[in-house]
Amino acid sequence: MEMQTSEIGINRTGLQASPQNAQELLSATKTVLPSTPGDASGIGKVRAEYIAESDPLGSVPPPAAATGVLKGGVNIEAQNQSQLFADKLGERLAFERTGTRLYEALIVKFRAYESELSNVSLARIEEIRDEEAEHFSVLRAAIESLGGDPTVQTPAADITAVESQGLMQVLTDPRTTFTQSLHAILVAELTDVDGWDTLIRLARAAGHEHLAVEFESAQEAEETHLDSVRQWLIDLMEGETTVLS
Ligand SMILES: [Fe+2]
C-alpha cells in the first residue's frame, strides 16, 4: 500500500525537466505557426451561435396532483417562484443521493488505508453517509407533500449530476489516496451547506415554514459534516508534513 503522502518521484511534466528540449520547444513556437487562422474569439462566436439556437436544459413539470402547492398560484410571480422551488428541491434530492454514494466510495478508500488513519473515525464517516441518505428521504417527503414527483430529473438536478461527476471520478480512481479522496468530499460538503441555505430561503419565501424548519435541521447536520471533513484534512496534512520534514 502506498503512503498517504504524495511521493517525490520522477515527474517529467515540467519544462525544467529538460532544459535542452525546452529551448528547442520555445524556438519551434516561432517557426511552427498555427495551420488555420483565427483565435479564441472564433470559438466564442460559434458558442454564442449555439447558445442562441439551443433548447433549454429540460423543464420543471407541473405537479401530478391538481391541488399541488408546487403548481403555485394564478399570478406569474408565484408560479415562477414555485417552479424555482421545485427545481431546487430536485437538485438537492439528486445531490444528497450522490453524497451517499460518495461516502460509500470514501469508506472503501478508508478500508484500503485504515492502518494510516488513526485520526479519522470510520463510525463518523458511516454516520455522515447515513445522514446524507436521511436528507434524501426528507426531500422526497417534502416534494411529495407539495404534490410533486420525486423521481423527476429537474434541470438543476441534471446540472448538479454533471458537476459532481468529477468528484466521483476522484473517489473511485484506484490511484487516489484517502486524503486526496477526502478533498473531493470537501467540495461536496461545501456545496451541501450552501444548497440547504438556498432551499431554506425558498421554502420561507413560498410560505412553507414547516419545511424551512426541517431543512434547517438538515443544514445543521451538514455544518457538522463540513467541520469533521475539514478537521480530518488538517490532521492528515499535518501528519504528511511531519513525514516529509
Ligand atoms: Fe453532507
pLDDT in tens, the chain (245 residues): 445 566 778 888 888 888 889 999 999 999 998 888 888 898 999 999 999 999 999 999 876 554 455 555 567 888 888 899 999 999 999 999 999 999 999 999 999 999 989 889 999 999 999 999 999 999 999 999 999 999 999 999 999 999 999 999 999 999 999 999 999 999 999 999 999 999 999 999 999 999 999 999 999 999 999 999 999 999 998 887 665 54
To which residue does cell 485504515 refer?
114
From ligand 1's centre to the CA of 225, what distance in Å? 5
pTM of the model: 0.87
Cell of 188: 461536496
Q: Is 177 exposed, middle or buried (0-12, 13-18, 19+ CB in 10 A)?
A: buried
From ligand 1's centre to the CA of 203, what distance in Å? 20
Neighbours of 222 (CB within 10 A): 25
> Which amino acid, 113?
Y
Q: Are 225 and 128 in contact (CB under 8 A)?
A: yes
What's the pLDDT score for residue 76? Answer: 81
Length of the chain: 245
From ligand 1's centre to the CA of 55, what distance in Å? 33
From ligand 1's centre to the CA of 146, what distance in Å? 24
